[in-house]
Structure 1
């Protein structure tokens, strides 16, 4: 949960690097919250209002942590735009986010594992 809150606190920070653990723990909690909201909405028989609000709330932190994760692998944050290509773009982003950290220090800062 600390990783999730860390990303929310850095929601406008597109600089620096994010470890794999930070990215994937944020993604895990994001998916869990989305599933819980969907279940609550279906049980309460209401429109997907809560899920829509949560999605709007979480879009900027998700984008920021993805950009920082790409920085950790030595890529520019602009690579996130490849996700706009249907299917192939999502697969490329998935592979990039699964890769290990680049070197101890790259143009985006020091390795967060070492710091």
Structure 2
């Protein structure tokens, strides 16, 4: 299941660019699905879409924190009014760990597998 829906997974790391791209794509998907589901479900669509969007955004932010070498438990700091949200935003804007950390390999490192031909 993790392979099918990686957008909902909390494991691994996410670079800054990948994080912000994911946030934008989740936002676009939310707007499109919200508009499509409004005629079918009316106000009840909120109970279907909002938990999914929240879960996907928390997963992306957790993976971004992992790239900064912080545990996903730091997401709870977001419950602190104003300060928590600003701290999480600050962490999402900062560069990740320069090398591998306990959460995985550096996502900016080129890991392309290729065949070297020569002699």
What is the root-mean-square deviation of aligned Cα atoms in Å?
Answer: 2.5
The match for 1:61 is 56
TM-score by length of 2: 0.72
The match for 2:8 is 11
TM-score by length of 1: 0.74
Q: Distance in 1 between matches of 2:103 and 2:12?
A: 5
The match for 2:16 is 20
Kindly indicate whether the alpha-carbon contact (under 8 Å) linking 1:83 and 1:90 is maintained by their aligned counterparts in 2. yes
Task: Show CA shifts across 1:56-104 (max 9, x none).
Answer: 2233222222111101012111111101111111111000011112111
Pair 1:31-2:56 in alignment: no
Q: Which runs of 5+ in 1 are unaligned?
A: 1-5
Q: Which runs of 5+ in 2 are unaligned?
A: 112-119
Q: How does 1:101-112 map to 2 (within 5 A)?
A: 101-112=96-107
Kindly indicate whether the alpha-carbon contact (under 8 Å) linking 1:104 and 1:111 is maintained by their aligned counterparts in 2. yes
Kindly indicate whether the alpha-carbon contact (under 8 Å) linking 2:62 and 2:72 is maintained by their aligned counterparts in 1. yes
Task: Show CA shifts across 1:18-37 (max 9, x none).
Answer: 11122111211222233445
Count of aligned pairs: 107
Instruction: Return the index of the structure with the highest Cα Rg.
Output: 2
Q: Distance in 1 between matches of 2:63 and 2:6?
A: 14
Q: How does 1:30-109 map to 2 (within 5 A)?
A: 30-37=26-33, 41=38, 47-109=42-104
